[in-house]
Every structure is written in C-alpha cells, then in structure tokens.
Amino acid sequence: MTNDALLKTANDLLAQGEIEKAHALAAPLFEANPNDSGLASLMGRLALAVLKPNIAAPLLERAVAAAPDDGVAQLALGRAFRALDRPREAKSALEAAVLLMPKDADAHFQLGELLEGEGEAQAARACYEAAQNLAPDLAAIPLALARIEQNLGHHEAAEALYRQAIALEDSAHAHTALAGLLAGLGRLDESIAEFDAAVRLDPKNPQAWNNLSGPLKLRGRLKESVAALRKAVALAPGNALIHNNLALALRLEEGCSEALSHAQLALQLRPDYADAYLNLGYILNLIGQHEAAIDALKRAISIEPGNAVYHGALGHVLNGQGAVEAAVDSFRRSLELDPASALVRSNLLMTLCYSPDITPEDLFQEHRRFGEIHQAQPRPAAYANVKAPDKRLRIGYVSPDFRTHSVSYFFEPVLDSHDRQNVEVALYANHLHGDAVSLRMQAKADLWREIRGLNDSEAEALIRSDGIDILIDLAGHSADNRLLLMARRAAPLQGTWIGYPNTTGLRGIDFRLTDAVADPPGLCDSLHSEKLVRLPNGFLCFQPPEDAPDIAPIRPRAPGQAIFGCFNNHAKVSPYVTRLWAEILKALPESVLMLKNRSMDDPRARAEILERFAGHGIDPERIKTVGRIPGRGGHLAAYNLVDISLDTHPYSGTATTCESLWMGTPVVTLAGKTHVSRVSASLLARVGLDDLVAATPEAYVALAVSLALDHDRLAKLRNSLRPCLQASPLLDAKGFTQNVEAAYRQLWRNWCAVA
C-alpha cells in the first residue's frame, strides 16, 4: 500500500474514532517522512483527539506553513490554540478554516465560540446561524445561540432555542441551561422541573443535584433542598461549595448543629472560602456563640473587603448584641458597596430606631430614602375590585410572623374578633417555619396563602386574583418583610400596622394605624410617608399568655432595696438609658437591676454592659444578668423576681411591657417625641397608669425612685394589675377590632368616592 493510501486509511480511522489504530498506522509514516504536511496535520489532529494541544499545535503549525490552503489543518490548529488559551492565533486559524471550508459547520461553530468568548456577540451569532444552516440537527448550535440571546436579554428567544436543543438531544446540559434561564426569570417551578430532568439524565453528577437545590430552597421546599444537597455531598465529598450550600440549607431548616459541621468542613477544604465564613457567622450567631460569629464575619470581610453582603451580615450580628453604632457603620459600608440592597437598608432603618443620637427628622429622611429607591415606578394596573362603599371587604394581612412571635400576641385577638359578616380575612404568610400558632391562625382565616417562595410579581398577581380590597403590612422594616411587594400596590388600599415602630417611607402604603398617645397629632404626622389613622382606644390589643404562671406576692424589703428589671432585647439597652438607670441605682444604693435577654448568654455582651455600668460608678455586683429561659412560662415567671420594670429608651417595649403588667410588675417609661419611644406610654394609658409615664429624663429617674420607695403601692399593683388589664381596652378584642373595622370602612368609602 502506498504512503498516500496509508495516509488516507489513517485519516478514515481517525474520522471513525479509531484513534489508537490511526496512530499506529500514521506514526511510522511520519517518522520516515517528518516534512510531509499531510502527515504533520494527521499527527497534530491525533494529538488533539487525546487532549494534548501542546503537542498538537506545533505539528499543525508545521502543516499549515507548508500547506496554508489545508482547511482541515487550519480548523484543528484553531482548536488547539483555543485549548492553549491563545485566542488571537486561534481566531486567525479559524477564520482561514471558514474561508477554505465554507460548508463545514464545525469551522463556523468553533469561530462562533471564540467570538462569543471575546464578547463579540453579533459576530458569534452570525457564525452560529451559518453553522445551523449547514447542520440543523446538531443540538450544540441552538444551545450556543440560546446563550447569545440570553446574554442579550432576549429571554423568549433564548427559551425557544433551549427547547429546540432539548428536542434535538435530551441532554442534562441543555435542561440545566434552560433551568438557569427560568430561575433567573423567577419561574421557579419550571426551573425545578428542568433541573429534575437534568438529574434524571445524569444522576451521578454532583453539580446537577447542587443546581436542583437552589430553586427548591427559594421556593421554601427546604427538606427537598437538603435532600438534593446530601446526594451532591455523597457524590463529591471534597467539594467545599456543596458542603457550604448544605450548611446554608440546614441553617434555614433550623438544623444548626449539622449546619455547623458542614460549614467547618467547607473551610477545611478551602481555608480562604469567604462565603463559608459568612455562613459560619450566621450559624454561630443562631446557636449563641456571638463573639465567634463576629470573628467569622470579620474573617469573611478580610478575604473580600468589597463584598456588601458580608458587611451587612456583620451589622446584623452587631445589632443583635446591642452594638448599635458599630452595626450602623457596617450597614452604611454595605450600602456604599450596594446602594440598591433593600434588605440592608431595612436593617439600617431598624437599627437607627435604637439610636438615641439620630433626630426624628433625620430618621424620617432615611426612611424616605428607602421609598425613593424602592417604590415601584410603573403605574399599577387598574383594579378589578367592585367600588361599593358598603360591601363585604376583603382584608389581606401580610406577615412573616403568623407563628409564635410577639406580633401574633397582638394580631390574633383581631383575627378572632373580625366580624365575618362585614369582612373576609386573607392571611399571606411569609415565614419559613410554621408552628402550632400558624396552624391555629390558618384554621381561623377565610383564606390562607403561603408566599415565602413567591417572588414579588407572583405574590402581587396572587393578591390581585384574590380580590383584596385593603392589604395590611404587619412587618415594616423588620426581618423577612415584604415591603417590595407592598411597593407594587397589589391592592387599591394599603396600610401598615404593628411589627415596626416607624414609617415605611413608601408612597405605596397609604395609611398607618396608630393612636393619639403613640403619635400625638401635630407632633408625628410630618414624620410619616403614610396618613396616620388614630384609633380611639389604642393601636394595640394584647392576647395574654395562656401559660402564664401565678403572680407571687411582692416580698417585704427594707427601704431602697428594690429589684428593678428590664427584659427587652439587648439592642434596646442603649448607652443613654443605662446612664439613666445608673442614676436610679445611685439614688437607691441597696437596689439591684436584673437584665434578662438572650444576649446575656454571650460573655462579650455581658462584659460590655457591666463595663458600661462600672463607667457610671455602679458596682457590677448590682447588675444581675440572665440569659434565655426556655419556654414562655419560665420567662414570665422571672417577673416574680422583679419589683419594677424599667422601660428602654429611645426604643420602648411592646410585648415585654404587656407581659410585665400581666405579671403584676409595673413599668416606668420615658416618652419621647416619636412613636418608637411612646409605645409603652400608649399601653400604660390604656390601663390607667399615665402617672408612670415620664416626659423628661429627670422625671423618669424620679418616678422610678419614688415608686421603689412606695411599697404599699407596689403591693397593690402586684395584686391589681392583672384584673386591671382584663377590664381595660388593652384586652377588649371585640371593641378594638370594631374600631379597626370602622377605620377600614371609612378608608374604603373615601377610596370609592375618588377612585
């Protein structure tokens, strides 16, 4: 057989995928004829076939130097240069291949991929279209065209091309690409279906299971997300990213112990993995290791100082420890890096409510800034609601706290007391984890919708389809709020109530339920983007705890031996109010102060508060710190150890004030100029204890001291407060709800008159 015949046979074998046979035939020929361009081309293509582009490139360069019109060699050389990341030389070779072989689909395709990688989208598209005309049945071509269209924002065209590729070849890769597009468009259920298809086609691929877990998590299907990630970890135990994703899913599913181990494993595999430090910080914070949590988040920041998320997370943990100023600094740094983050801006606003240093006017401007950035701009579609002033109203409530939470203590009595002849009640639940309270509320609602896994557009469409007339936000800027949903104006009338002690800053929220004590007319109206609707007998209705223990009689004490207490969360214990408490303790040298909150389980937080009092001349032995007591009954029983509760300032108590009064322990409060500092004043007014509301810091100190010295009054209050509450407007759920419904009705009539 001649050399030419042998060369042809070897080329045919290579074309058939018989690489070893082709090499065995060609190698001796090339050794005998090293200057033969055809043999150099063949040997180069053989090297490329076994993924050795560093060997292939010089052989192919020799071939095209001798025979520049050899299109096959030019194409192979272009592929070799691409593999070696030499794009300029690859482009020259591939352009030559296209000119020499205009009907070769692969030449056009390879050049298209190169141009796409270089950011030349339109030129790449032209190459792909040429390739598709030559090879219409090749699935890789519509896949490539779909990428181009997706990157250009042409989502419908991209989706059609992905589906065309799947029809040509049902591959895991194509389903994964389509799933990614759908997930980015918020079409999570369709995305999950495509990722499921990819997993079925390639069940041994750990990345496929990892991909599936993402939209499952976003949909709130945490158990399935965790299950998918467990399979991914089993297939790739050395993959740090998958361990970290599993840790995140477990953390959300409240499996913190196991989450901690996977976050730590991720860091063992990748010691510089900033996202794993972020996750570790959140987990440590949840299990009460706050100092370690702060250290982990600072480590993440040290690795990626320009990451806005890490600064925001640090702010969240610092705020929980009462380090308000440091938290504000972290949130502001995060917003410098990402001004559009609604989550971080909400966290900043909540934290500023704790600060005694910001003026009410400046705080309002900060809230208005949120509204300017996040209020939906397009005019909402017309509402289909019937404009009948006296019809049965459909009232929707949006909250992450239809569960065991302080908000439910004030909302459930209203849910129970709504007049179902006049109103229909829909609850839009945004929590991850329900409980017995959730099930109870679900049973009481006319309509129960879980919206945690819905994006804002989907939730808006759902609320509109439900025909809600008045939609009420119960979270404000607190955790897991849906203010961006409220900004879309899903209902004709929108309001906000409880859950957050300030304005939302959104023009899309029309009114805020309050009262004349919490928001005195003329003092607070200009500090709200909403219209203030003042209810006649207070803006709160308390549901007393069924598991509250009996009230213990007050213990006889010598003059000045009072036990003061504060059970508010630690972020509310500002340096300003601790200075006032120090003045009270100085006036009564035999008195002590009990501080009870979950932060007192953390050594750093305890040391900081004791140092703060020591700086005011108070012996740390006089400050008794108590951490979390499991169970609400045990928490409430601690009030039996306290003679007087001292309210915080500027962020006063709400549930803690009511609990203290229910347990027979009076509360002394300092009312400021804004709602956040006047909630306890409103509550005390409802039970006839206006005289325990101070208007100045000096009066606050004097009130606490005089009450501590009046043992007869303390004894009477211990015995009378619970019956007093039971007879007060604060527990009159029926009367309170009638006032709320009257406000809704008038607002609706006003809307009908002008709509």
Q: Is the dihedral of CA 483, 487, 492, 496 positive or negative?
A: positive
Question: For residue 721, is pLDDT > 90?
Answer: yes
Is it the case that residue 425 has pLDDT exceeding 70? yes
Residue identified by tokens 């045919």 is: 12
CA 755 – CA 601 distance, rounded (Å): 55
Helix/strand/coil for 544? coil
pLDDT digits (tens, 9 = 90+) for 175-203: 999 999 998 888 889 999 999 999 999 99
Contacts of 89 (CB under 8 A, 6+ apart): 81
Residue 425, classed as helix, strand or coil, is strand
Please name the residue that has the structure tokens 């074998």: 13
Q: What element of type H or E holds 15?
A: helix 3-15
CATH 3.40.50.1370 at 272-352, yes or no: no
Helix then strand then coil, % of the chain, to nearest 5: 60, 5, 30
What is the mean pLDDT of the segment spanning 207-218? Answer: 92
| 341 touches 369 (CB < 8 A) | no
> How much is the pLDDT for 33?
82
- Count of CB atoms within 10 A of residue 589's CB? 11
Mean pLDDT of 476-483: 96
Pairing type for strands 447-450 and 511-514 reads unpaired
Ranges 319-328, 498-507, 553-562, most confident? 498-507
Q: Is the pLDDT of residue 259 over 90?
A: yes
**Could you give the strand order of the β-sheet that contains 470-473, starting from the edge strand earlier in sequence?**
447-450, 423-429, 393-399, 470-473, 493-496, 511-514, 531-534
Q: What band does 593 get if pLDDT is binned at 50, 70 and 90?
A: very high
At position 109, the amino acid (one-letter code) is: F
Gap between the Cα atoms of 220 and 278, Å rounded: 21
Whether the pLDDT of residue 433 is over 90: the answer is: no
The CA distance from 534 to 743, in Å, is: 9
Sheet bearing 623-626, strands edge to edge:
623-626, 592-596, 563-566, 644-646, 667-670, 693-694
For residue 140, give the H/E element and its range.
helix 140-151
Q: How confident is the model at residue 379 (pLDDT cuts 50, 70, 90)?
A: low
Residue pointed to by tokens 């009908």 = 752
In this predicted structure, what is the pLDDT of residue 588? 97
pLDDT of residue 562: 94
Which 3 state secondary structure label does DSSP give 117? helix
- Give residue 322's pLDDT: 81
Mean pLDDT of 460-471: 97
pLDDT average, residue stretch 10-28: 78
Q: What's the farthest any 2 CA atoms get from each other in the chain?
A: 121
CATH assignment, 563-731: 3.40.50.2000
Q: What is the pLDDT of residue 2?
A: 63
Percent of the chain with pLDDT over 70: 99
Element (H, E) at 162: helix 155-168
Summarised one tens digit per residue, pLDDT across range 236-247 is 999 999 999 999
List the beta bridge partners of residue 564.
593, 644
Report pLDDT digits (tens) over 503-559.
999 999 999 999 999 999 988 899 999 999 999 999 999 999 988 999 999 888 888
Contact 514, 533 (CB under 8 A): yes
- Average pLDDT on 291-317 reads 96
β-bridge partners, 424: 394
Residues in the chain: 755
Q: What is the pLDDT of residue 30?
A: 75
Going by the DSSP 8-state scheme, the letter that residue 400 receives in this structure is: S
Residue 286: C-alpha distances to residues 42, 263, 267, 279 (Å)? 63, 14, 19, 11
Report whether the peptide linkage leading into residue 603 is cis, meaning its omega lies within 30 degrees of zero: no
pLDDT at 603: 85
Residue 134 in tokens: 């030559």
User: Cα(159)–Cα(171) distance, rounded to whole angstroms?
Assistant: 15
The pLDDT, as a whole number, for residue 378 is 64
Residue 488's nearest CA partner among 374, 387, 342, 396 is 374
Q: Hey, CA dihedral for 104, 105, 108, 110, is it positive or negative? A: negative
Give residue 377's pLDDT: 66
Average pLDDT rounded to a whole number, residues 442-452: 95
Query: Which are the contacts of 236, defined by CB distance < 8 A and separation ≥ 6?
Result: 206, 207, 242
Encoded amino acid at 423, one letter: V
Mean pLDDT of 470-485: 97
pLDDT at position 380 over 80:
no
Residue 153 — left, alpha, or beta (φ > 0 → left; ψ -120 to 50 → alpha)? left
The residue written with tokens 């100045």 in the block is: 696
Helix ranges, 16-70 (H): 19-32, 37-49, 53-66
User: pLDDT at residue 212 above 80?
Assistant: yes
CATH fold, domain 3-202, is: 1.25.40
- Judged by DSSP in three states, 1 sits in coil
Q: Which secondary structure element, helix H or strand E, spans residue 393, and what is its range?
A: strand 393-399
DSSP run (H or E) holding 268: helix 256-269
Instruction: Over range 319-334, report the average pLDDT.
Output: 93
Which residue shows structure tokens 């899309």? 508
User: Please, where in the chain does CATH 1.25.40.10 lie?
Assistant: 3-202, 272-352
pLDDT score of 634: 87
Please name the helix (run of DSSP H) or strand (run of DSSP E) that holds residue 195, with its range, or none: helix 188-201
Which fold does the domain 393-534 belong to in CATH? Rossmann fold (3.40.50)
What does the pLDDT read at residue 3?
Answer: 66
SS3 at position 197: helix
Window from 5-19, 110-124, 442-456 with minimum mean pLDDT: 5-19
Integer Rg of the chain from CA: 34
Is the pLDDT at 1 greater than 60? The verdict is no
Backbone φ and ψ for 646, nearest 5 degrees, come out as -100, 120
Report DSSP state, residue 551: P
Q: What is the chain's mean pLDDT, rounded?
A: 93
Q: Do residues 498 and 411 touch, judged by C-beta distance below 8 A?
A: yes
DSSP string, 231-262: HHHHH-TT-HHHHHHHHHHHHHTT-HHHHHHH
CA end-to-end distance (rounded Å), the chain? 94
Band (287; pLDDT cuts 50, 70, 90): confident
Judge contact between 706 and 643, C-beta under 8 A: no
In this predicted structure, what is the pLDDT of residue 291? 87
Give the per-residue pLDDT at 534.
98
How far, CA to CA in Å, does 733 sit from each of 120, 414, 746? 67, 6, 20
- Whether the CB-CB separation of 646 and 584 falls below 8 Å is answered with yes
Asked if the model's pLDDT at residue 331 lies above 90, the reply is yes
The b-or-e profile of 598-632 (16+ CB within 10 A means b, else e) is bbbebeebbeebbebbeeeebeeebbbbbeeeeee
Q: Look at residue 487 in the predicted model and tell me its pLDDT.
A: 96
